[in-house]
């Protein structure tokens, strides 16, 4: 294991930035959720890397990563259900056009 | 440069390249497939980090469930934006600038921190991380409450998703 911890952190930072760019620049609501998945994965890389490099005997890092998995699954299920429901009623998946609750 | 460093760099290039394609590809179904590649690269990283259980969970839950859910959602809604019109906002350079600023800031902070240059110690002989993980998830002294909370959250999300997505309500 001759990889410095900073390599993982920099990779995660780059992945997070790419995901943020996707979330903010895409028009399609499903593409926005794809960006959110990339950001969650970046966070998970950080959690597992810190677990391995700092406290491999305690499992807090891995347990937190598993919680992130569960939350990501819940988020995608509800998010895609909302998008499909909106698509059925309004025939659009463009985030800008879903503005019924905008004031 | 040792072998595992080369493997890490290849894996990082795979992840970042496919992640860039996820956020820039015009066809959404291709973006979802590139997401599968990126998630697989992250699973390889978990394997390098000796978190084998998480690597398996990544493949089963993320690729097997979440990515497939994305592909289904794209297929169910694709008529609307199929290949015509811009896929990104007109002011896409603003998010790109923001992402680059955050990236350079984070890299600056990480490089300046000497503690992050350390390499990992060997996991001591006799420490079974998988067994520790299983014990930690069900032990009352450790993480049984967050674990149960996650399962309740998943159940609530499941019921909510079924209710929202089922079309014909009375």
How much is the pLDDT for A70? 92
Total of domains in chain A: 1
Query: Which among B47, B130, B98 is positioned nearest to A59, based on CA atoms?
Result: B130
- Chain B CB contacts of A93 below 8 Å: 77, 80-81
- A99 in a domain, yes or no? no
Q: Does B4 touch chain A (CB under 8 A)?
A: yes
Query: Using one digit for the tens of pLDDT, what is the confidence trace for A44-84?
Result: 999 999 998 888 888 888 999 999 999 999 999 999 999 88
CA angle B143, B147, B149 (to 5 degrees): 120
Concatenating the DSSP letter of every residue in B42-71 gives HHHHHHHTT-HHHHHHIIIIIIIIIIHHHH
- Which domain-ending residue is among B62, B83, B104? B83
Percentage, residues of chain A above pLDDT 70: 98
pTM of the model: 0.90
Query: Using one digit for the tens of pLDDT, what is the confidence trace for B118-157?
Result: 777 777 777 788 888 888 888 888 889 989 999 999 999 9
Q: Which domain holds residue B167?
A: 129-170
Total of domains in chain B: 2
How much is the pLDDT for B129? 83
Distance from the Cα of B68 to chain A's closest Cα (Å) equals 11
Whether B169 has a pLDDT exceeding 70, the answer reads no
- Is the CB of residue A26 less than 8 Å from the CB of residue A35? yes
Q: Does A8 touch chain B (CB under 8 A)?
A: yes
- Which domain-ending residue is among B64, B83, B102? B83
Q: What is the CATH number of the domain that holds A55?
A: 1.10.287.3510
Q: What is the CATH number of the domain that holds B39?
A: 1.20.120.1200
Whether B2 has a pLDDT exceeding 60, the answer reads yes
Query: Using one digit for the tens of pLDDT, what is the confidence trace for B77-129?
Result: 866 555 566 777 788 888 899 999 999 999 999 888 888 777 777 777 777 88
């Amino acid at each position: 294991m001759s990889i410095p911890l900073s390599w993982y952190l920099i990779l995660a930072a780059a992945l997070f930035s790419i995901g943020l760019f996707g979330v903010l620049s895409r028009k399609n609501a499903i593409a926005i959720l794809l960006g959110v998945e990339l950001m969650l994965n970046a966070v998970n890389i950080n959690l597992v890397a810190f677990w391995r490099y700092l406290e491999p005997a305690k499992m807090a890092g891995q347990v937190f990563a598993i919680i992130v998995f569960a939350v990501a699954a819940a988020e995608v299920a509800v998010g895609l259900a909302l998008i499909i429901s909106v698509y059925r009623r309004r025939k659009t998946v463009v985030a800008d056009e879903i503005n019924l609750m905008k004031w | 440069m040792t072998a595992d460093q080369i493997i890490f760099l290849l894996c990082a290039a795979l992840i970042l390249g496919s992640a860039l394609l996820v956020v820039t590809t015009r066809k959404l179904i291709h973006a979802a497939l590139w997401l599968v590649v990126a998630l697989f690269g992250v699973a390889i990283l978990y394997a390098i980090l000796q978190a084998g259980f998480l690597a398996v969970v990544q493949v089963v839950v993320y690729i097997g469930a979440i990515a497939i859910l994305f592909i289904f959602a794209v297929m169910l809604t694709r008529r609307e934006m199929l290949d015509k019109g811009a896929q990104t906002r007109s002011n896409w350079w603003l998010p790109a600038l923001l992402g680059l600023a955050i990236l350079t800031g984070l890299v600056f902070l990480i490089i300046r921190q000497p503690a992050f240059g350390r390499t990992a110690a060997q996991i001591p002989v006799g420490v079974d991380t998988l067994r520790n993980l299983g014990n930690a998830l069900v032990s009352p002294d450790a993480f049984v409450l967050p674990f149960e909370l996650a399962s309740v959250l998943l159940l609530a999300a499941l019921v909510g998703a079924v209710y929202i997505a089922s079309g014909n309500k009375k």
